[in-house]
A and B are shown apart, each in its own frame.
Chain A
Amino acid sequence: MSLISSSDVLVRKLQTISDIREADIGVLRAIPVQMKDFGANHDLVREGDHPAYSFVVLEGLVGSTKHTGDGKRQITSFFVAGDIPDLHGLHLSVMDCNFSTLTPARIGFMRHDTLRTVCDQHPRIATAFWRSTLIDAAIYREWVTNVGRREAYTRMAHILCELIFRLRSVGHIQDHVADLPITQAALGDALGLSTVHVNRMLQELRRKGLIATSGSKVHALDWPGLIHAGDFDTTYLHQRNRTDQ
């Protein structure tokens, strides 16, 4: 587990998507963050809740999830370190989905009244937060397209590209190796695929030399190849300084 502070994780993320300045960074660092560690598959916020906090992911992977009437789960998006998945809770008082840890995770909770005061007094931070929720929405749009229209093989490659790209952009990984200790069932719930088919697609990607897996680690052996296989274009992630990732 890295030793960088919770505010560094948040600042780094906001810097990748907005032009916050030194003064704003000082303000962000002063926001009190209540840290807590959770195991995998813990509901952090549930549909119907009226949360008084928003949370930032500090370590691990979180999913937004919805359940159908007959109990099937769809994971509608992933969130990595630096993301504030329920930031919209600042303005929408009733939660309309669940947020659950998909791996063991460290979470930082920030009070809504504090965040509101910060937004009122620091418009650049308010804009950065707004951008963050807009980008979350862009990711949801991409996921609808992915799950609704792409073939399973492309779908799987796409989700791996997205995770690796997002983890890299917040400096969480340096290369193209991501530790993703998520279950096959969770991957299936994110892709709208059966567990058996998830395995088939992972093995197909392995056989074509695009990825290697060992334990929970996924290594993109051929990054351009994986991008091509996944029909992956980073535009929807709206990073400020898009480098050649």
Chain B
Amino acid sequence: MARFYFDSGDRNKIFEDEIGVECAGLEEVRQAGFEGLIDLTRESLKSVDGQRLFVEVRDENGDKILRLSLSLQVKLMKQI
């Protein structure tokens, strides 16, 4: 088991993870990052076109090893 750090944020704000999570292998890192991104989205996604949210994973040496991100597109299709 190694400790990984899950930084997260959007265009304007980066939240640096100081606690970290113990994961056994890349699959667990990916799963933890994915679940973290879902929670971040639920809490932080606003109805803003072009909003981006991400989770970026560092290992104990500070090397970036994985980035998960998503962005929102809001497009008006018809005036009502």
Q: A residues touching B (Cβ–Cβ < 8 Å)? A: 151-153, 184, 193-197, 199-200, 202-203
Contacts and interface: CB of A to CB of B under 8 A. Distances in A.
A57 B15 CA distance: 38
Given A196-B35, A196-B39, 6 more contacts: A194-B35, A195-B35, A196-B6, A197-B40, A200-B8, A202-B19
Given A195-B32, A196-B6, A200-B8, A184 B21 contact: yes
A193 B35 CA distance: 8
Interface of B: 6, 8, 15, 17-21, 32-33, 35-36, 38-40, 43, 55
A153 B39 CA distance: 11
A212 to B, nearest CB: 13
B59 to A, nearest CB: 15
Contacts of A197: 35-36, 39-40, 43
B40 A195 contact: no
Contact of B19 (A151, A152, A199): A199
B38 A184 contact: no
B18 A195 contact: no
Contacts of B39: 152, 193-194, 196-197, 200
B37 to A, nearest CB: 8
Contacts of B35: 194-197
Contacts of B55: 196
